[in-house]
Every structure is written in C-alpha cells, then in structure tokens.
C-alpha cells in the first residue's frame, strides 16, 4: 500500500448496479455473481463501462453485509430484475491505493483508520473499492 492518505471529492456517475445482502462467508461469491450479471446485461445492450467497477460495503454486522456492485455507464439503461440504475457513491472521501493481493486489503483499511484518527476526519457512509488493475485497488472511505 502507498502510505499517503488523500482527501478527495468524488463525483457521482450514472451506474448500472446491484444491491444485495449476503452472509459474510459468501461475500466474495455474491460479488462475483453480481458482476457476472452486470456484465451480461451490458453485453446485451452493447454499452461499455466508462470507468472502473466498484464495490461499496453499505453496512456490515455479524449476520451479514449489504453490498452494492456497480459499473459506471455513460447512459441510462433499461433494467429488469435486481438490476437498477443509480449513481456511484459521491462526496468527500479518504483515498488510499492498495498495491497487492486482495487477501492483504485489510492492512490498507487498518492504516486508513489510524490515519483518519490522527487527522480527526470522521467516517460516514460506505467504504468503496475500485479495482484499477490487477493487484491495484483504490480504497475509499466516505467522510462527513
């Protein structure tokens, strides 16, 4: 992980997304299923994503996690089933870049939590991960 924590302003972008709740032991499988569904729908429309895919953890407890998986798109699409059009998370956020395997991503979150405690910034809202390339993940934590 790069050591720098940046404070950025995220702009909302139209996104094709799926929101769901799943048990914590099925989070990765549920995310994989959601992206297969999102990409299949885009393939039928001929529309390409216009930015990196994102995963937002909207809430988490011992029972499970509420997740949003999304793909930014340049146009509003017709949707069915659990697909919906919406916007990507937006507003003030702390950003760090995690270089390495997903299995070590929690180290990035721990570093971010320490840095935020030092700066006095207050967390509010979801954490968002955007996979920029293999072994490079942009980690965002929404702030007040």
Range of the domain at 138: 6-143
pLDDT (tens, 9 = 90+) of the chain, 144 residues, equals 555 899 999 999 999 999 999 999 999 999 999 999 999 999 999 999 999 999 999 999 999 999 999 999 999 999 999 999 999 999 999 999 999 998 899 999 999 999 999 999 999 989 999 999 999 999 999 999
Q: What's the whole-model pTM score? A: 0.94
The partner residues of 144 in beta bridges, in order of sequence, read none
Tell me how many degrees the CA angle 51-37-125 measures, rounded to the nearest 5. 55
- Residue 90, domain CATH: 3.20.80.10
Residue with tokens 């994102």: 54
Strands 91-99 and 6-10 turn out to be: antiparallel
Break the chain down into helix, strand, coil percent, rounded to 5.
Answer: 30, 45, 30
Say how many domains are in the chain: 1
79 part of a folded domain: yes
Q: Give the tens place of pLDDT for each residue, 115-133.
A: 999 999 999 989 999 999 9
86 part of a folded domain: yes
71 part of a folded domain: yes
């Amino acid at each position: 992980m790069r050591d720098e924590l940046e404070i950025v302003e995220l702009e909302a972008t139209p996104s094709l997304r799926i929101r769901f709740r799943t048990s914590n032991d099925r989070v990765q499988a549920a995310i994989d299923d959601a992206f297969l569904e999102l990409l299949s729908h885009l393939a039928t429309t001929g529309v390409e994503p216009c930015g990196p895919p994102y995963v937002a953890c909207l809430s988490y407890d011992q029972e499970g996690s509420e997740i949003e998986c999304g793909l930014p798109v340049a146009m509003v699409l017709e949707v069915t089933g659990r697909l919906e059009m919406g916007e990507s998370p937006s507003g003030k956020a702390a950003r760090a870049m995690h270089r390495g395997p997903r299995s070590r991503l929690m180290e990035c979150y721990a570093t971010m939590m320490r840095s935020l405690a030092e700066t006095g910034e207050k967390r509010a809202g979801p954490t968002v991960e955007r996979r920029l390339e293999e072994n490079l993940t942009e980690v965002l934590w929404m702030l007040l």
